Structure 1
Amino acid sequence: MILKTFRWAFVVTALGLGLGVLYDGAKALGIVAILAVLEISLSFDNAVINAGILKKMSAFWQRIFLTIGVLIAVFGMRLIFPVLIVSITAKIGPIESVRLALDDKDRYQQLVTDAHPSIAAFGGMFLLMIFLNFIFEDREIKWQAWLERPLAKLGQVDMLAVCIALVALLVASMTVATSAHQHGGHHADKTSTVLTAGVAGLITYLIVAGLSSFFEGRLEEEEERETEKAEAADRGPSAVAVTGKAAFFMFLYLEVIDASFSFDGVIGAFAITNDIVLMALGLGIGAMYVRSLTVYLVRKGTLDDYVYLEHGAHYAIGALAVILIVTIQYQISELITGLVGVVLIGWSFWSSVRRNRRLADSPSDA
C-alpha cells in the first residue's frame, strides 16, 4: 500500500536529487533535501485537509489530483509563482523577472521579500476563512467541546466568518501593516497593499468555496434521488462519488488551498537559498510527498478512524493564518511554523486514539 501510493514520490525524489547534483554538485544535493523536508513539515496539515475533500471525489479525479494537480503545485506554485510575484510587484516583465532570478539572485530575493506583505495578507485571509467556517459549523463530533459548542451556536449568525475576517484584516492593516519590515532594515507603510491583497484573498475564498459548495449540494440531491430509487427497488443505497462540474470546482478549491499553504514554504525557502532552480526541485519533492500522503489518508480511511485529525488540521490552519499575518512585520522561524502544525495534529491524533480506546472499552457508549 505504501509503496504503491508513494512510488511516484520516490521517483520524483531520485530525479530531483539527481538533477540537483547535475546542476550544482554535492552542495545542491543537501539544499534540495533540506527544502523537501521543510515543505513536508510545513504542509502535513495541508494533506489532512485535502484528504477530507478528496475522499468525496471519484477515482478519476483523485488521479487528476495526483497528476495535473502535481504539475500545478510543482511548476505553478514552486517555480512560476515566485517569478510572477516579482513581476507584478516590481512592475517588470516575466522574462526580466526570470533573468533576475537566474543572474541577479540577491536583487530577486529582495523583490520577493518586498512582496511578502501582499503574499502574507492574501494567504492569511484565505486560510483564516477556512478555519472560521470550520469552527463555526455545528458538528456531531467535537474535539475541544468547551470551545466548539459555543462557537457553533455563534455560527448561526449569517456571514459571521466574513465579518470576523474583515475585522482581522482591518486590525492588521492598522497595526502590523503600518510598519511592515522591508528589505534593508527600513520600515514602510503597507496599509493599502495589505488591505487590497487581504480582500483579494477573501474574495477568492468566497468564489471558489461557493462554487464548490453549490455543485456539491447538487450532487447530494442526486445522491438522495439514487438512494430513493435503490430503496424502491429493494437494493441497498449506493454512494455517489463527486464527478463532473462538482469535482472540477472541488479540484479548483484544492489547488487554491495548496497555493495558500505553499506561501510559507516558498518564503521560508529563501532563508535557505535564493536559487529558484534548487527551490523548485526541493519544494517540488516535498509537494509530491504531501500529495501522496493525501491519497494514502483517503485510501486507508484514516480520517474515519481518527475523527479528530481534521479538527487538528483546521486548528493548525488557523494558527498558520495568524502567523502569516504577523509575519507582515515580524520574522517568525519556519521551525516554529512547522512545529505548531505538527503539535496540533499530533495532539488531535492522540485524542482520537484515546477516544477509540474508550469506545472499545465501553461498547454501550458507541
Structure 2
Amino acid sequence: MFLRTFGWSFAITVIGLIAAGLFWGPTGFGVVAILSVLEISLSFDNAVVNASVLKRMSPFWQKIFLTVGVLIAVFGMRLIFPLLVVGLTAHIGPSTVIDLALHSDKTYGGLTYAQHLHDAHPAIAAFGGMFLLMIFLDFIFEDKDYQWLRWIERPLEKIGKLDQLSVLVAMVVLLLSASFFGGSHAETVLLAGVLGLITYLAVNGLANVFEGTLEDGDEDEAEDAEGAPAAKNANASVAGVVGKAAFFLFLYLEVLDASFSFDGVVGAFAITSDIFQIALGLGIGAMYIRSLTVFLVRKGTLDDYVYLEHGAHYAIGALSIILMVSIKHDIPEIVTGLIGVAFILASLTSSIMRNRRLGEAEGAGAESEAVTSSKV
C-alpha cells in the first residue's frame, strides 16, 4: 500500500529534481529540494484535515483528488492563481503580469513581480485566514465523539449550540484584524475576509446539502425492502459520497489547499524569484501531501488515533490567527511550521497513550474474566 500510494510522489520527485538540475544547475536543484521540504513541513496538518474530508468520498473521487487535484494545486494554486492575485490587486493586465513573472528583474510601477505579490499579502492573508478560521470554529463548536482538551472543548461545544456562532466569531475576528492590523489596507482586508467567509459557507454548505440529499435517498431506497436498511446504509458509508456532493467536497479541498498554499507561495520568494522553481518545488511538496492524505484514509489512521484530527484543527486555528497577524507583522515560516508540528505531535502522543490505556484495560478485563471462569 505504501509504494502504491506514494509511488507517483517518488517518481515526480526524481523527475522534478533531475529537471531542476538540468535547467538551473546545482543551485536550482537545491532550491527546488528546499521548497519541497518546506511545503511538506508546513502542510502536514493540511493532510490530516484533508483525510477527514476525503474519507467521506468514493474511491473514484479520491483518485480525482490525487490526479486532477494535483494539477490544480501545482499549476492553478501555485502558478496561475498568484498571477491573478497580482493582476487584480495591482490593476495590471494579464500580459504584463506574465512578463513580470517571467523576468524577475523587470518592474511595473517601480515594483517587481515578487514585490507586487508581497503587496497583495493583506488580501491573501485575510481571505485564507477567514476560510481556515471557519474550518476551526465549525470543528471546535460541534459535538464530537471524542474530546481531546476537554476543559476547552466541553464548554465550547455547549455554547456552540447557538445558531451561526462560528460566523459571528469569525466576523468579530475580521473586524478586529482590520482595525489593529489593516492600517491603510483595512478596506481590502475587510473585503477579502468577507469573500473568504462567503467562499467557505458556499462550498461547504453545498457539499453538506448534496451529501444530505444523497443519504436521504439511500434511506428511502432502503425502506422499500424489508431488512435492507442496515445493509444499504453500510454499503453507502463504505462507498462514500458521489456526484454533486463529492464534487463540492472536492472544491472544498481545493480551496483549503489554496488557503494553506498562499503563505507558502509568498514566502517562497524569499528563497527564489523564479516562478517555475517555486511551482516545481511547492508542487512536489503538494504531491506528497496528497499522497499522505490518501494513505491516512486507506490505513484508517484517523480512526486509530482519534485525537489526530483535533490536533490538525488546532493547528489550522493557529495558522488562521497567524495569517491575520501577518497582515501587519512579518512572521517567519519556521514559526508557522513548528506550531503545526507541535499540535500534531501532541495529539498523536495523546492518541497513543489513550490506545495503550484501553489495551491495558481490555487485557485486565480479559484476565479477570478468565480467573472467574476457572473458579466456576
Provide the residue aligned with 1:150 in structure 2.
Answer: 155
Higher deviation after alignment, 211-220 or 307-316: 211-220
Which amino acid is 1:211 matched to? L
Shift of 1:60: 0.6
Matched-pair contact (CA < 8 Å) for 2:125–2:323? yes
Do residues 304 (structure 1) and 299 (structure 2) align? no
Alignment partner of 1:117 out of 91, 115, 122: 122
Do residues 222 (structure 1) and 225 (structure 2) align? no
What TM-score do you get using the length of structure 2 for normalisation?
A: 0.91
Larger Rg belongs to? 2
Provide the residue aligned with 1:263 in structure 2.
Answer: 262
Higher deviation after alignment, 239-248 or 227-236: 227-236
Q: Distance in 2 between matches of 1:249 and 1:202?
A: 16
Which amino acid is 1:109 matched to? A
Q: Distance in 2 between matches of 1:84 and 1:233?
A: 51
Q: Distance in 2 between matches of 1:43 and 1:230?
A: 46
Q: Distance in 2 between matches of 1:306 and 1:231?
A: 37
Shift of 1:250: 0.7
Please list the CA deviations of residues 79-125 of structure 1 after superposition, one character each: whole Å capped at 9, or x if unmatched: 11111111111111122111101113471111011000000000000
Q: Distance in 2 between matches of 1:226 and 1:266?
A: 47
Q: Distance in 1 between matches of 2:174 and 2:149?
A: 26
Shift of 1:239: 2.7
Matched-pair contact (CA < 8 Å) for 1:320–1:337? yes
Shift of 1:140: 2.0
Matched-pair contact (CA < 8 Å) for 1:223–1:239? no
Provide the residue aligned with 1:165 in structure 2.
Answer: 170
Higher deviation after alignment, 235-244 or 302-311: 235-244
Do residues 48 (structure 1) and 48 (structure 2) align? yes
Shift of 1:4: 0.8
Q: Distance in 2 between matches of 1:338 and 1:202?
A: 24
Shift of 1:211: 0.3
Higher deviation after alignment, 346-355 or 258-267: 258-267
Do residues 200 (structure 1) and 195 (structure 2) align? yes
Q: Secondary structure at the match of 1:36?
A: helix
Q: Distance in 2 between matches of 1:24 and 1:221?
A: 55
Q: Distance in 2 between matches of 1:54 and 1:226?
A: 25
Q: 1:235 to 1:162 in 2, by over 3 A?
A: closer
Q: Distance in 2 between matches of 1:293 and 1:25?
A: 30
Shift of 1:219: 2.2
Q: Distance in 2 between matches of 1:343 and 1:74?
A: 27
Q: Secondary structure at the match of 1:208?
A: helix
Matched-pair contact (CA < 8 Å) for 1:230–1:236? no
Q: 1:235 to 1:115 in 2, by over 3 A?
A: closer
What TM-score do you get using the length of structure 1 for normalisation?
A: 0.94
Residue ranges of structure 1 left out of the alignment (5+ in a row):
179-188
Q: Distance in 1 between matches of 2:229 and 2:299?
A: 30
Provide the residue aligned with 1:186 in structure 2.
Answer: none
Q: Distance in 1 between matches of 2:191 and 2:199?
A: 12
Q: Distance in 2 between matches of 1:138 and 1:235?
A: 24
Matched-pair contact (CA < 8 Å) for 2:222–2:228? no
Please list the CA deviations of residues 177-229 of structure 1 after superposition, one character each: whole Å capped at 9, or x if unmatched: 11xxxxxxxxxx11101011011101111100110111111122234345556
Q: Distance in 2 between matches of 1:213 and 1:93?
A: 38
Q: Distance in 2 between matches of 1:120 and 1:80?
A: 18
Q: Secondary structure at the match of 1:138?
A: coil
Q: Distance in 1 between matches of 2:43 and 2:308?
A: 14
Alignment partner of 1:108 out of 85, 105, 113: 113
Q: Secondary structure at the match of 2:351?
A: helix
Q: Distance in 2 between matches of 1:239 and 1:310?
A: 25
Aligned 1:1-366 pairs, distance under 5 A? 1-105=1-105, 107-178=112-183, 189-225=184-220, 228=223, 232-233=227-228, 236-237=231-232, 238-240=234-236, 241-363=240-362
Residue ranges of structure 2 left out of the alignment (5+ in a row):
106-110, 366-376
Matched-pair contact (CA < 8 Å) for 1:136–1:152? yes
Shift of 1:267: 1.5
Q: Distance in 1 between matches of 2:214 and 2:149?
A: 31
Q: Secondary structure at the match of 2:43?
A: helix
Matched-pair contact (CA < 8 Å) for 2:104–2:273? no
Provide the residue aligned with 1:181 in structure 2.
Answer: none
Q: Secondary structure at the match of 1:62?
A: helix
Matched-pair contact (CA < 8 Å) for 2:222–2:229? no
Count of residues in Structure 1 that have an aligned counterpart in Structure 2: 355
Q: Distance in 2 between matches of 1:97 and 1:254?
A: 27
Q: Distance in 2 between matches of 1:235 and 1:113?
A: 55
